[in-house]
Chain A
Amino acid sequence: MIKIERHDETSNLIYFLTPVIAIFLTLVTGAIIFYLLGFHPLQALKFFFITPISDLYGLSELLVKATPLCLIAIGLSFCFKSNNWNIGAEGQLTFGGIVGGGVALLFYNHEGFYVLPLIILAGAIGGMIFAMIPAILKIYFNTNEILVSLMLVYVSKLLLDYLVVGPWSNPEGFNFPETRQFSDSARLPVLFEGLRIHAGIFIALFSVFLAWVVLFKTYLGFQIKVSGLSLKTAKYAGFKGKTMILLVFMVSGACAGLAGVGEITGPIGQLHRMISPEYGFTAIIVAFLGRLNPIGIVFASLIVALTYLGAETAQIFLQVPKYTGQVFQGMILFFLLASDFLLFFRIKFLGFKKYEY
């Protein structure tokens, strides 16, 4: 007989160990999948996880991918911690990209030190405003923020589509669905010659630090935590609950907007249809893998970024589709949730026992 019981006390160690277990299980399952596909499992895993970061260029690429993931996940952690389910970071990223990109296009033949800060600010505000839509609807009409924020993703993506094909498309671009290249002043500086790693990483790291201080050391962070656990208690304590909802969505949207603007002013340098390989959705995995903890999120973003790179190398060397990366991301989340179950429940093997009648 097997019996499942609820644990009462969970230790902090296990709490932060389960993501490691999840990653380990992902690797094992990944190896099995590769084996079934007819590859040497260890060889394949090496292509997937080691080869991509075995040179400086690879490491730089890792950080380029981890930067937006980390930024978005940091923002999402504010929402998730306070029980606000913002699933639409991808949309906020896109909208931030649109607004920031719009400003960048205004200055396309303009140079000046003030251009870049303006663009970044515009992107953050754009993402913020876009995230305020589900928040305000939730506050005043009690709508479900999961649905609203998710649906808004498609709104912003279609808007971007329209803009790069129509009004904002490059007049000298032979009708390619993309805008002009931004001016040099509108680009985030590259850190090392020949590598794509850019100054956006400092924005991400600064946001990590700021988030850690706010979440763990301030009254605001305490209010977020309490509101997430019990709105009734938050009300009783006199916290302003509605303001809190708006605030966490604004933080989250601003972070996603920053990630969007970081992409277009960093590696991309213009607006086109594909400014994000679904960073906004993947960041949800990053946030949970990192236990909604700013430091945890840094590590989680690196690991998940690696699945993006691994997918590319695997595509080249093993001729498997790049969607293998998403398979790995999915497996990480799956195993994380599964090991969370073990965290809060325990399975007891009782053996077989016969009752006497």
Chain B
Amino acid sequence: MSTVFATQKGLRFLPASGWIVPAFVGAGCVFLLIGSLQSSLFAQQTISGLANGGIYASLAVALVLIYRATEVINFAQGAIATFTTYVAWQLMSWGLSYWLAFVCTLGIAFAGGFLIELIAIRPVERRGNQLTVVIASIGLLILVEGSIGWIWGSDLKFMPAPFPSHIYRVGGVAFSRQDIATIAISIAAVVVLRLLFQFTKLGLAMRAAAVRPDAARLVGIRVSWMLSLGWGLAAVLGAVAGLMTAASPASLLQPSMMDGILIYAFAAAVLGGLESAAGAVIGALAIGVTLNLLGSYVSWVTPQLLLPAAFVLMLVVLLVKPSGMFGRSRVSRV
């Protein structure tokens, strides 16, 4: 039984109502550009919104990665990201330099995600259904957050700042190096992943295993290993998000550090259509910028309102267009 697309040949990569989403994204970009040229505060807020969005994007793509493979939202994704950030802190406190610890952490995150799938998810998935896996992922969230507190205690930890606080000035607008680097690293992580999926044999096998596991087995792909690999890669993206979150001067390391960010990432993934990594990235950047601008220009929007706003957005998308901006509408099975 295979799923076919509602879309026509020429518009394969665009949603059924082809021009609306690109038009919206384009209009948003023009708005941001004009606003930034008008006001340097607007430009600064846009850039730092993009930096937040970049963090959401890494985590949102991690969610998409797992959703595509197992059709389940991994509620533990944020907690796993926090855990790996603590690992990085631990490595640094043992004397490793920031970037060495960064690279080691990505490796440890990969192994950790891989093992979690193998030990906690695979046995559950084999016996139960998607709901069982969701419950397992919630259990995992509690377990991982609990073990962070158990291992490292719940007092705040200070991460060394990876980027010396430096301000670039372009025509009266000040950009912090922090924001620029966060955007660059988050986007680079997503792009590298995209290249892996699009242009390598392993990436092709992972995509095949995700879309049609039965057919993938028949050509010799070890589907269950592909799922473990997917969890490993998702954990790497989560680690990037966690490290970038902890790198921002305003944020300290604490066990619940990624809880709110997971919600934003979830909203971004839903906005993008849950199955589209590109959609999740655009959704994440849009949410980051929108919330930042709302927070700084609309006086009654206080930080307490931002998380509920993300929920409202998610609800609206699910009610109005459940397939999101770039989701594939499933029409029939042949």
A, B from the same assembly? no
Chain B residues in contact with chain A, CB under 8 A? none
Which A positions have Cβ atoms within 8 angstroms of B?
none
